[in-house]
């Protein structure tokens, strides 16, 4: 059984991550540029991973480890793809 202290830590982490996710979602909606949105999506994926990792640490399991790795890879590949697209587009404009 988890100690009451760990449950309090989990609640605090959940509140902080929820606030961070709300800020990231607002940046996704507002923009203004595609790069702002991509960075905000990457931050949101990192927040989801942090929440899953905090849950694994508090509850002492590793059930979500594969999911964390997959989410991290998706975020990385997506960010690199958009960055390459933006670089290619900027070099062709000039």
**pLDDT tens-digit profile of 31-81?**
888 888 989 999 999 999 999 999 898 888 999 999 999 999 999 999 889
What's residue 94's pLDDT? 62
pTM of the model: 0.84
What's residue 87's pLDDT? 82
User: Which residue, among 85, 88, 71, has the nearest Cα to 34 in the 3D structure?
Assistant: 85
Q: How far, in Å, CA of 6 to CA of 63, rounded? A: 19
User: Which residue, among 38, 16, 17, 20, has the nearest Cα to 28 in the 3D structure?
Assistant: 38
User: Which residue, among 47, 49, 46, 56, has the nearest Cα to 10 in the 3D structure?
Assistant: 56
Average pLDDT over residues 3-29: 91
Q: How far, in Å, CA of 23 to CA of 14, rounded? A: 14
At residue 1, does pLDDT exceed 70? Answer: no
Average pLDDT over residues 5-20: 90
């Amino acid at each position: 059984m988890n100690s009451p202290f760990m449950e309090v830590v989990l609640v605090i982490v959940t509140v902080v991550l929820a606030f961070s996710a709300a800020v990231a979602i607002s940046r996704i909606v507002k923009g203004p540029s595609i790069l702002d949105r991509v960075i905000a999506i990457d931050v949101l994926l990192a927040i989801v991973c942090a929440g899953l990792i905090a849950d694994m640490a508090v509850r002492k399991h590793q059930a979500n480890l594969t999911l964390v790795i997959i989410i991290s890879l998706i975020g990385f590949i997506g960010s690199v793809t958009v960055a390459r697209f933006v670089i290619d587009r900027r070099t062709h404009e000039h």
